[in-house]
């Protein structure tokens, strides 16, 4: 996404301008395909978490990012499998050691992927 597109979004949502600017900088300096909001929030200083979440969803609505979900294993690691819908998460899943755990007791987190190279 070009800086111009971020500027357009920031003009449309001036309340998110700061979050969008910081997020744009983070996306340019981190080429990871998987974007985990909790990790981004720890690395971007001074951005309100709600504004960051709103900015990420604005990028989804603009077709720049795609949102899916991952399950957090009992040991705190994200599972490999992604789900487009929370209701499609199975009742049991393997952790990284192939030990199965009940997902009803696990946390689920949204994750994002780029639709285009930024």
The pLDDT score that the predictor gives to residue 96 is: 87
**DSSP three-state, residue 100:** strand
Alpha-carbon span 4 to 35, nearest angstrom:
22
pLDDT digits (tens, 9 = 90+) for 58-81: 999 999 999 999 999 999 999 999
pLDDT digits (tens, 9 = 90+) for 31-49: 888 999 999 999 998 999 9
The pLDDT score that the predictor gives to residue 118 is: 45
* Domain-wise residue ranges, the chain: 3-66, 68-114
The confidence band for 17, taking pLDDT boundaries of 50, 70 and 90, is: very high
Question: What's this model's pTM, rounded to 2 decimal places?
Answer: 0.86
């Amino acid at each position: 996404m070009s800086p111009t597109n971020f500027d357009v979004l920031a003009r449309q949502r001036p309340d998110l301008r700061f979050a969008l600017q910081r997020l744009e900088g983070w996306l340019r300096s981190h080429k990871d395909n998987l974007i985990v909001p909790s990790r981004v929030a720890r690395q971007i200083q001074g951005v309100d978490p709600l504004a960051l979440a709103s900015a990420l969803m604005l990028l989804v609505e603009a077709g720049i990012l795609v949102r899916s979900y991952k399950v957090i294993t009992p040991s705190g690691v994200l599972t490999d499998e992604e789900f487009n819908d929370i209701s499609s998460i199975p009742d049991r899943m393997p952790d990284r050691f192939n030990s199965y755990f009940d997902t009803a007791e696990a946390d689920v987190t949204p994750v994002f992927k780029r639709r285009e190279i930024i």
